[in-house]
Amino acid sequence: MRSWILQRVSAIFIALFVLYLGGFLFLNLPLDYVTWKAWVGLTFNKVVIILFFISVFFHAWVGIRDVIIDYVHSVALRFILLTGVIGILVSMAVWLLIIVQGA
Amino acid sequence: MRTSRPVYLNLLKIKLPVTAILSILHRITGVFMVLSIPLLVYLFEQSLQDPTSFQQLSVIMAHPVARFILALFVWFLAHHLMAGIRFLLMDIDVGVLKPSARASAYLVNYLGLVLLVAALFWAYLL
């Protein structure tokens, strides 16, 4: 139940962010470095981007977990894959934090 | 559980219902997008580092092949998003009955293709 809700709530936030980013891009393409860096540098946007990635993290996790459960029948392999996926997703989240922090 | 029942898995010959096509595309696009996360985070980093890396990235993104992949990605995102909304609506019992479920599946699939064409158009003309 919890993963079901997580997936739906994260989906909604992701959709809203995609619209937000899409709107910005639509108004500012072709992009130049200064505009882009300034937009990402806004504190509000930094927060939103990090929240976006946390949402993607949970959303992707639930999705991939379901796919692995559906197709990988060996419990050992499943465990390894699921652990690997979490590891990679967490690493990506940390990397993104570092990137946004430095912007 | 192992039985000796016959198995027929020739995907090229099985006629899948439109809802099944939508559903498997939803899964495939999802997995593909997750797999592209590391690359996207890297591109994000490159776009912010300094004007030079941004410029290099712009040059790469202007390449026709990169544009094609970008358009494809936009299609994947759009299809996944629209199929997802369809599922969300079904969660609150909207469009659950077979006729409307099939109709909405056709809508999402074809709208997705329309968006793919639009994305390709935009990718090669911007």
The pLDDT, as a whole number, for residue B1 is 63
pLDDT (tens digit per residue) in A56-74: 999 999 999 999 999 999 9
The pLDDT, as a whole number, for residue B48 is 94
Q: What is the ipTM of this complex?
A: 0.91
What's the CA gap between A69 and A73, in Å, rounded? 7
Interface touch A29/B126, C-beta < 8 Å: yes
Q: SS3 sequence, chain B?
A: CCCCCCCCCCCCCCCCCHHHHHHHHHHHHHHHHHHCHHHHHHHHHHHHHCHHHHHHHHHHHHCHHHHHHHHHHHHHHHHHHHHHHHHHHHHCCCCCCHHHHHHHHHHHHHHHHHHHHHHHHHHHHC
Interface touch A18/B77, C-beta < 8 Å: yes
Residue pLDDT tens, chain B, 126 long? 667 888 888 888 888 889 999 999 999 999 999 999 999 999 999 999 999 999 999 999 999 999 999 999 999 999 999 999 999 999 998 888 989 899 999 999 999 999 999 988 888 886
pTM over 0.95? The answer is no
The pLDDT, as a whole number, for residue B124 is 85
Query: What Cα–Cα distance (Å) separates residue B89 from each residue in A7, A19, B120?
Result: 14, 19, 29
Q: Best of B2, B9, B43, B47 to disrupt the A interface by mutation (most A CBs within 10 Å)?
A: B47
Q: Token digits for A8?
A: 């739906």
Option in B41, B55, B81 nearest A92 (CB): B41
Interface size between A and B, measured as CB pairs under 8 A = 51
The pLDDT, as a whole number, for residue A22 is 93
